[in-house]
Structure 1
Amino acid sequence: MRAVFGLVLIVGVALAGGAVYMARDYISQYQAQLARERQATQDALANVKSVATIGVIVSNRSMKYGERLTQEDIRVVNWPEDAIPEGSFVDMAVLFPEDAKGDRFVLRAMEKDEALMAVKVTEPGESAGLTSQIEKGKRAFAISVDVASGVSGFLRPGDSIDVYWTGTVSRGLEGGGGEITRLIQTNIELIAVDQIAGSDLTGTTIARTVTVAATPEQIAALAQAQNTGRLSLALVGVQDDTVASAIEVDQGKLLGIEKIAPEVVVEERKCFTNIRRGAEIVQTQIPCTN
């Protein structure tokens, strides 16, 4: 009996020793793996370069076209140096110079935390009217529209439009007559709809007039076209960079009717000779020789 008890005790001790050895080996492997992962993390962090940032002035609230810009409306946030939008203000002294002759005004709607850029605000002392949006060498010109010619109220300041003229051409012009439709101006910049010049216009608005920015020559053509016919506007897509060619449609082209050239009637050539018969001269027809 004692021999059996001793054998069981020896086997139990052997099993316990084996379990302890296996547990110690597993723990050692786990600790080694953990140490390797910790070292890899430290190496990765050591290789990461710090991102350089610059303080950029952003809007502190939502702002609309025409609002006066004050220092309470802005704040400075750190932006990655290589991701700063072009034209952003980074110096408060530049945005609000000490020798400023007036306030700045908002030209484009801005949301909270949006970067403040030079194209979105006026110069100090400059109004937010149309004069601040017209490029050098261009003028503002108003075009009368309705729900049909004004693209059903979907026009917005900042859009580009093509202008078509429909009118009657006199028979003495271009060798014919009748009503035609012709593309007269392309990619004209729209700067105002009725009395709204900002981009804050929401929803559809059935305007009575739209204002475009164009060169004096273009304005002369638009004025002549508006006084002699009807103008229709076509909205140009934002990503459309194609150049429209000269387009003209009359009723014949619209209906696919080909013009028939008038039949040319060739008159028969006749030759005559005069024959004296006594005191009388008689005209007699003879064959033509040339």
Structure 2
Amino acid sequence: MKPARIAVICIAAVSALGLALVVRAMGNGEPAAPAAAAPVETRPMAKILVAAKNLEPGKRLAEADLAWKDWPVDEVNPAFITDGSTPIPAKPAPEGAGEKAGAAVERVAEAAGQMAGPGAKSDYIGSVVREPILAGEPIVGRKIVRAGDSGYLAAYLEPGMRAMAIAVTVESAAGGFILPGDRVDVVLTVQNEGGSSAVEGGATTAKYSSATVMQNVKVLAIDQSTRAGDDAQAVVGATATLEVRPQDAVLLAQAKSEGELSLSLRSYADTAGPSGATRAPRAVASASRSVRVYRGGEPEVVTTP
């Protein structure tokens, strides 16, 4: 082999060995510092009140019907009900709007905030659903009726039922211990015509009789109170509003004209029995007309239907 070729081979071998040493030295060096991870931007969230299940009109809200749900703050509508833990910034007026338009938007937002805004879940328990609400849908004021709001009693009534008020006193309402939501019997006391009994001195006194005309009916309100306070033990009022069937409303109206009505409070353990009237309402006589007819000079009265 020629000397020149041998020299080239030696140079190549030395170069390969040097390159291997360089690569090995680089592998044993300190690791490069990892690039800093870019911060992940998170959207601020607020908790709003939503329906925990599908709610139908006439449903009275309970604890299990409501739930808190996380919602992006920048998407919270002023009509939504929040828990108040996260401040909701006011949305700016649209660009190009004048001062009057901005003031109008501010008033609308303020009114919406007063209508809903922050609150506790317990503030809405007992409200009645006015429009259908789907599960997970935010609760808004226009879809529910809270106790004390206009239209609450009409929404609270069961389908097909009627509300009718009767006058009561402390004595005729179980001393005021009858509260909205209780069940009662309606007792009618009438004076018997011509009935009397002898007493001392030869004086006479009228006889009275009493009977239950309605049983196990719900008390919707005492005066204008549809809910008793948390610590209320008694409610004294001048009227009691009862929930009755349409045909029972006729009987109750007749009973009011016959005598004095009293309410008898039923036990919670005795509310599963039949409910409604204990007698049929009397038929109302239709109006008739009388005509005087003269036959042979003799008058005769003829009644026509």
Give the alignment's TM-score, normalised by structure 1: 0.43
* Structure (1 or 2) with the larger CA radius of gyration: 1
Give the alignment's TM-score, normalised by structure 2: 0.41
